[in-house]
Amino acid sequence: MGTIKDLLAYQKGFKLSMEIFHISKRFPSEEKYSLTDQIRRCSRSVCANLAEAYRKRKYPNHFVSKLSDADTENGETQTWLEFALACSYISEDEFNMLNDQAEEVAKLLVYMMNKPEKFLIKLS
C-alpha cells in the first residue's frame, strides 16, 4: 500500500473540504466563529482522522475506531451544510453537490470499516 493520499476516501474527503473552504469564504462575517469555523474544521477532520487511521493499520480495532471518527466528522459536515442551506448561504445546487460528495465519502468509510482487512498492515 502506498500513502494516505492513495486512498479514494482521502482524495474525495480532501476535495470536499477544499470546496467547502472556498464556498464558505462567502459566508457573512458574523458566522466566522460559528458556522464557518465549524464546517471548515469538521470537513478537514475527516482527512485528519483518516490519516490517523492509516497510521493505526497494524491494530484493527484502532484502525476502525479512527475510521468511525472520520465518519462522525463527515456526518457533522453534512449537518453544517444543512444549516448553510437553511440560512441561504449556499444554493440548493451547491448543497446537493457538496452533500452528494459527503455521501460518497461516507460510503467509502463504511466500506473500509466493514472490510478493514483490505487495508491493514500484514504482519509476518
| pLDDT tens per residue across all 124 residues of the chain | 689 999 999 999 999 999 999 999 999 999 998 999 999 999 999 999 999 999 999 999 999 999 999 999 999 999 999 999 999 999 999 999 999 999 999 999 999 999 999 999 887 6
What pTM value is reported for the model? 0.94
Residues in Cβ contact with 63 at an 8 Å cutoff, skipping those fewer than 6 apart: 53, 56, 57, 116, 119, 120
Name the residue among 61, 60, 41, 63 with its Cα closest to residue 52: 63
Residues in Cβ contact with 90 at an 8 Å cutoff, skipping those fewer than 6 apart: 23, 81, 84, 98
Alpha-carbon distance of 120 to 1, in angstroms, equals 9
Q: Which domains does the chain have, with CATH numbers?
A: 4-118 (1.20.1440.60)
